[in-house]
Structure 1
Amino acid sequence: MTDQEPALAHEARRISTKEAAELLGVKPETVYAYVSRGQLGSRRSTGGRGSTFDAKEVEALARRNRREPAGSSPAAGTLSVRTRITLIDKDRYYFRGVDATELAARHSYEEVAEWLWTGALRPGATFTAPEASVAVARRAVDALPEHTGPTDRLRVAAIAAASADPLRFDLSEQAVLGTARTLIPTLVDALPPKSHGHRDDSSLAHRLWARLSGREPDEASLRALDTALALLVDHDLAASTLAVRVAASARAHAYAAVSAGLGVLEGPLHGAASGLAHRMLLDVLDRGTAAPVVADELRAGRRVPGLGHRIYPGEDPRARALF
């Protein structure tokens, strides 16, 4: 084999604009729209007439564009649209071209969030909330009935925090990023704590743990929670993310956009689905074995909560990373 053969083989995989359009099922001008949006790479053909495209990249884009809800399963009610931030392909997913599970293993949730927002890694990045914002959000959340669920608490906290921010209508990029960095810890700190072994100046994962569990955390537990946050920070343009984008497209401020997403998250075909899985796990622990619990779900004609993902034909990489 000569040094030139691999290069020639690579060139053989390049296709014309017409061929790319046929693979994608679009007009040639739409192919160039994909290029302008950074969704597809191109190279000028020899002689400068027209462009060529990597066949594998075009085929991967065609597969993603064809991804649609299938059948009448509960998952068919969800909506997923591809973005330039997250790419899901063949049981793996990427944030800005970097394997998301590797990022979550090496970096904190805050660092991964910064990577999504800016495309730059900020080692040691931390999010802190203004005391006034947290105080207003806590008072609003504390006024809710005791049985109020966490998503409703978060929605109320978001709106309360908005009322304390006179600059919320500044929609410049840097202003919105600043709001994001303070709103996330505000939402966490506004939730009622289940234990008192935390400090508000500790890590975000530590503060969130105190709102989720009355058990004192160890380093492994905190690392697992932080990794889960990083793995779930984005996952294509799902229903709640789409709701956020719709609100933002109407020039709603960041607090209102987040509130719109939290409203959609309450749906049983989206965020509330995790509650069904949690309830099943409690049932398994109570009965001492999973077999009869799974049998009951199947006998009732229901999907087993928490198992299977319509986007990943094999294994969800997030589950593998957490396990």
Structure 2
Amino acid sequence: MSDQPAAAEPRRLTTREAADRLGVKPETVYAYVSRGQLGSRRAPGGRGSTFDAAEVEALSARGARREPQPAGTDLAFRTGVTLIDPEAGRYYFRGVDAAELAGRYGYEEVAEWLWTGTLRPGVRFTAPPETLAAGRRAVGALPPHSTAMDRLRAAAVAASAADPLRFDLSPDAVLGTARALIPTLVGSLPVAGARDGGDGTGQGQEAGGTGGAGLAPRFWRRLTARTPDAPSLAALEAALVLLIDHDLAASTLATRVAASARAHPYAVVSAGLGALEG
């Protein structure tokens, strides 16, 4: 026999105690349980549930406090990518300070890391020639007064029609579509101040492709005819990184609904773009 005392049972909290610690309603505590964010155990006698105090503390530290939004307010959605620390005035992508990421890496590098968990310095996203040509033709056929959102939606639909494998929803296929669709959307927009070049696309000298430049220089040419300097491109690159994930827009809901219905990636992006017109 051992003289060692039995290990103390971890402290457990009632539903009300857990709710008070998390700063939420009891109903929200059960929502955390249903989402797999918090474990529970039936209380002795079968009346109510109890929760491990350490697990509740860990959930609180991860920023779990978020009550359901009252009717009529802006939509907010939970994300597994971003953690916002309002007290420090900072936010994090997968535990890494977003501002530090933006200062060290470009948009494509951070996007690739968020999607795959692997950091690939210098990675570039390239638009397939067929889908890029289809997007540019569609955008070029629009009336001159068309908005940027009109052009992006038209490019997404045209690129979709040009991709015979768009219904392949395997993870690798969806990832490949994402890498191709982003530069396709940017490359389909007319270059600011460019002459037509006779093909109706408004691409000027860039009509043949996107080249080996990163996304930020290509996007800059669609925003302004002014020649960029290094600090300006760095600022645009940082802005793209800092805005790479968000959960405070109706477009988030639209894309999630489309994706949950197993729409292909082009349709998912189109749903989000449509919501942004609201």
Report the TM-score when normalising by structure 1.
Answer: 0.67
Q: Tell me, which stretches of 5 or more residues in structure 1 are unaligned?
A: 1-13, 43-48, 71-75, 268-323
Post-superposition CA distance 1:175-222 (Å, at most 9, x none): 111000000000011001115676721221111111111011111111
**Number of the residue aligned with 1:200:** 210
Q: 1:129 aligns with which of 127, 130, 143?
A: 127
- Write out aligned runs for 1:253-272 (5 A): 253-267=264-278
Counterpart amino acid of residue 209 in structure 1: W
Larger Rg computed on CA atoms: 2
Q: CA deviation at 1:163?
A: 0.2
- Identify which range, 168-177 or 111-120, moves more after superposition: 111-120
Post-superposition CA distance 1:32-82 (Å, at most 9, x none): 445x3xx5699xxxxxx9733256544456763127469xxxxx6531111
**Number of the residue aligned with 1:156:** 154
Mapped partners of 1:50, 1:69: distance in 2: 27
Percentage identity across aligned positions?
57
Q: Aligned pair in 2 of structure 1 residues 125, 26: CA closer, same or farther (>3 Å)?
A: farther
Q: CA RMSD in A?
A: 2.8
Q: Aligned pair in 2 of structure 1 residues 31, 266: CA closer, same or farther (>3 Å)?
A: closer
Mapped partners of 1:207, 1:263: distance in 2: 24
**Number of the residue aligned with 1:228:** 239
2:210 alignment partner, SS class: coil
Q: Aligned pair in 2 of structure 1 residues 51, 261: CA closer, same or farther (>3 Å)?
A: same
Report the TM-score when normalising by structure 2.
Answer: 0.77
Q: 2:229 aligns with which of 209, 218, 232?
A: 218
Post-superposition CA distance 1:155-184 (Å, at most 9, x none): 000000000000000011111110000000
**Aligned partners of 1:197 and 1:210 also within 8 Å:** no
**Number of the residue aligned with 1:276:** none
**Number of the residue aligned with 2:25:** 25
**Aligned partners of 2:25 and 2:67 also within 8 Å:** no
Mapped partners of 1:152, 1:252: distance in 2: 21
- Write out aligned runs for 1:40-119 (5 A): 51-53=52-54, 56-60=57-61, 64-66=65-67, 68=69, 77-90=73-86, 91-119=89-117
